[in-house]
Each structure stands twice: as C-alpha cells, then as structure tokens.
A and B are shown apart, each in its own frame.
Chain A
Amino acid sequence: MACLGAQLFLIMTVSLRDTFSIFATTPTIFPAEANEFWQRREQTTAALLGEGLDHSNWFRNGIAVYLHSAGIEAGYGFFAPNVPANYKLVFELHYPDGRNEYDIPRVSSAAAGVRLAGLLDQLADVNYAPLRATMMKIVAYSVWQEHPDASMLRAYFGRARLPTPGEFERGNKGSYELLFAYDFTFRGTNLNAP
C-alpha cells in the first residue's frame, strides 16, 4: 500500500509540475497575469521531486532513476494546450567552386521520421542558446558527412505557420518564418574526438 501511495504521489507530482510548466510558458485560456502563479506552483512541485537539491544528493538521484525506470518522469500534455508549430530544418551547402546545394536531415524509416519531428520540436524549445547551437552542430555534422566536399553549411531553422481551415479555403497554405540560422565548417573537424 505504501508503494502504491508513493507511486501515485510521484505520478501526480510530475503531472502537476509539467501541467504548471505548460500553463506558465505557453498561451492558454488563463490570463497572462496568472503565469507567475503557475511558475511558483511548478517550482513547488519540482522541489517535492528533489530537483532543487545538489546533483550528488542521493534523494534527488534516487527519485530521478525511479521516475525514468517507471516511465513517469514526464507529464501527459501531448499536443496540449496547443498543437505545436511545424518546424523545418534546411541546410544550404556551400562548395569551394561556388556551387550551392540544399539538403534536409534524413532518416530511412517512417518510425524514425516521427522521431525526427520530435527532435525539431525540442530544438525549438531549447532556450539555452549554446545547447541549441551544439545540438544543431551535431545534426549539421551528420549532413556534412554525406557531403564532405562542402566547405560550409548554413543551417536554417524555421517555423511553418499552419493555416486555419478558413485560411486554407481562401487558398492560404501557410507561411514560413525563419527563427535562427547557423554557419558551420567541418573540414578537419572530428566531432567524436575527445
């Protein structure tokens, strides 16, 4: 019974933490003035999970390992409160002879394609710029390995705004908005080097 209580408590705490986080950071039907309230509630629930403790703390580590092992480390706000925008990543490959080509990240199965879409969503959500640049560089490196002659890669990451049903009926197929761009050169680089 104690195990059941602990399991349900952890599921509820994680779900509340993620729900408060979603309410605090994304547009909802709640007034924007409530964002600070949601943020405080999120911090409280995160503290219950030991997230404010030192990284070496046994309680924090124990909870984290248990949550991940039981598959309950994340809440359940799929496609909520709003369906995320459609993100696109395009690489412009520059060759020494002045030629330019375009490519996109590729996978060889539909299952991996769904996962790739999730990766683009995560890239858009990363607020810490150095981490986003590192993730982008790794994806760009995988594309460069297919085109080792390219002297430079320019990565364009953008958001495709999906039309509403009304806009679609009027012939509007949506628009594309560039969010950020990065230039990478890989010649003589080995990302796997320690």
Chain B
Amino acid sequence: MRSSKQRLEEFLFPADSDTWLGILRIGVGLQVIIYCLSLRTDWTDLFSLERAGLIKRDLSEAMLSAQSHYIPRLGWLVDFAAHFGVSEQAALTAAWWSLLCAAFLLLIGLFSREAAIATLFLHLCAVKSTSGLTYGVDNFTSIGLFYIMVAPLPDRWAADCWLRSAPRRNPHLQGFHRRILQLHLCLIYFFGGITKCAGAGWWDGTSIWRALIRPPFNLLPPETLIAWKNLFPVLSISVCLLETGYPLFIWPRKTRTFCLLAVITMHLAIGVAMGLYLFSLVMITLNLAAFRPEFSFNGMRMNATRQIAGPPGPISSSGSRHADPL
C-alpha cells in the first residue's frame, strides 16, 4: 500500500511531455505581440509625461510605490535612458520595440528563457505604469509569462531545440510545473465562481444581460439580445456552476472533456460577444496548456508509476532527475 507521501509525490511529479509548455509559450508569446500591436498608436500617449495621456505614468507609479518601490515600472527604463541623454519618447519607443522583439523570440522559442524573462519584465513595466488602465488580461498574461520563465525550457517546438540543440528537460519536472498551473487555474475559477455566486444578479440572469449591454462591451444590439432573455438565467447560473465546479469537474476523466469544452466555449463567447479578444486568448491558452484533451489524471499517475518504478528522487541542480526518455 502506497504511503500518502508517495501518492503526493506521484501527484505532484507525474511524467508529462512538454506539449503543455509549447502551447503556453506560443499562446502567451502571441498574446504579448497582439498586446503590443493593439496599443501601438496609443503607446506614447499612455506612458509619456510630455504628451496628452489619459493618466500620467508618474501618478500610476506613485500609487505603485505605495505598495513597494521595487515593483518594475517604465520610469526605471526612462530614467536609465536619460543618463545617456536619450529622450523619454525614444526610451518609450525602444521599450515598445524591445517588448515586441522579446515576445517574438518567445513565440518562436529562440533564447526561450532569456526571452521569457525580458518579456515578463517589460510587460510588467508597461502594465504597472498604467495601473489605472489595466484589467484582468494583464494579470493572466503575467501569470502565463511567470510560469514560462520558471518552467523547464525549451520545449520540443522551440527553435532552441533544433537551432541550438538545447537539451530537453525530464518529464517529471515538466509534470510538476504543469501541475502548478493546473492547481492555479482551479483556484482562479473557484474564487471567480464563488464571488459570482454571492451576487443576486448571477442567479436571475440580470448580470449576463448587464455585462452584454454595458459599454464598451455592447457589441450586440440590446434589441437582438432581448429576444433571448429567457436564456439569461440559465446561462448565468451555468457560468456560476461551471466556474465554482471547475476544480471538481476538470480532474475526473468522465467530466474533464465536457468541462474543458464548456470553459473554452464560455471564453470564446466572451471574446465574440463582448470584444474581449485578448482576455479570451489568454484564458484559452492557459486552459489548453493545463488541461489539453489528451491529459488524463489517472493515466498520468499510472504512467508515472510504471516509468519511474518508485518515488521520484531529488532533482539535480541542472533540473534533471532521470534521463529524458523522449
């Protein structure tokens, strides 16, 4: 009979391929590229102190300093550039290009680790310097970038693998990092769902209606939406149950595919009906990376038991415990 410690180790260190990491890297890389391109025309106005921006960078950064002076911000880069006589405008343009290039390198998987660190840092600087103008998508992008940065890179689809012949990491380490992402997603949906359940509007359908007619998310005319009013209570209760029940239904084999498809459908609907394309993209990426269809909790556990024939050993400083059988 296996001890609970052994079972915990098998749960946390299942043998897994690096497909999840490839999906996450490509999806988040694409996400940051679209983020850069979508803000191309507003970039300088958003960050420059010299231009007519909606909310000044220095105010955002002052509010950020109330939390800590050490949280990355664009002001650092602008001040650093100023030491070399570089103007604010030039520094901001360079930051935009650097972020775009780093995200592109991440997308193709060239210098993956360095690209992930640079993308996370520059993206963080940008979103923290416009804290008044950020929303959930920025947090989820940071989450994705953070997990890529600490993950056992490169994956099999990365250019590093075939251009630089970088060694691939062991499957138990891949499984461990993927497991963290899976647990994190469960917490995200559970807390999102439980908070919605506390609102009366999510039980009678009013919240779905309000979300769809509220500018700037009102892409569909209310005259069209009202024809479907009887569906609103069903849809909004389904959203509550789906999100709250995600940690329960995403693990068992019988409900996993349905749960994953339902969540992806929900995010696609949010993207199409409310115009939140970036939010949808990052959520679908995180879900596919964590729980892509071939994932099998029971199967993984059985595979892990068969392959390692015992509890996992300590991880070496290079991050490898066993020879990579892939």
Q: Report the interface size class on chain B.
A: 35 or more
Q: Is B253 an interface residue (CB 8 A)?
A: no
Q: Which residues of A contact B100 (CB under 8 A)?
A: none
Output the residue of A11, A79, A138, A146 with the most chain B CB within 10 A.
Answer: A79
- Knowing A11-B187, A168-B226, the reply to whether A19 touches B209 (Cβ < 8 A) is no
CA distance A15 to B45 in the complex (A): 33
Q: Is B325 an interface residue (CB 8 A)?
A: no
Does chain B have a CB within 8 A of A47?
A: no
- B198 and A112 form a contact (CB under 8 A): no
Determine whether B183 belongs to the interface, using a CB cutoff of 8 Å to chain A.
yes
Is there contact, CB below 8 Å, between A71 and B68?
Answer: no
Partner of B134 from A60, A109, A115 at Cβ < 8 Å? A115
**How many A-B contacts are there with CB distance less than 8 Å?**
209
Of residues 158 to 194 in A, which have CB atoms within 8 Å of B's CB atoms?
A: 162, 164-165, 168-169, 191-192
Smallest beta-carbon distance A174→chain B, Å = 9
Tier of interface size on chain A: 35 or more
B207 touches A79 (CB 8 A): yes
Q: Which residues of B contact A115 (CB under 8 A)?
A: 130, 133-135
Separation of A122 and B179 alpha carbons in the complex (Å)? 34
Interface of A is mostly: helix
Tell me the complex Cα distance, A55–B69, Å.
Answer: 9
Which A residues form the contact surface with B (CB < 8 A)?
A: 1, 4, 7-8, 11-12, 15-16, 18-19, 22-23, 27-30, 55, 60-61, 64-65, 68-84, 86, 105, 107-119, 122, 134-135, 138-139, 141-143, 145-146, 162, 164-165, 168-169, 191-192
List 4 additional A-B contacts (Cβ < 8 Å) besides A11-B187, A22-B195, A109-B39. A29-B203, A81-B198, A109-B38, A141-B52
Query: What is the interface of chain B, defined by CB distance below 8 A to chain A?
Result: 12, 35, 38-42, 45-46, 49-50, 52-56, 59, 66-72, 120, 124, 128, 130, 132-136, 138-146, 176, 179-180, 183-184, 187-189, 191-192, 194-203, 205-207, 209-211, 213-217, 222, 226, 229, 232, 275-276, 278
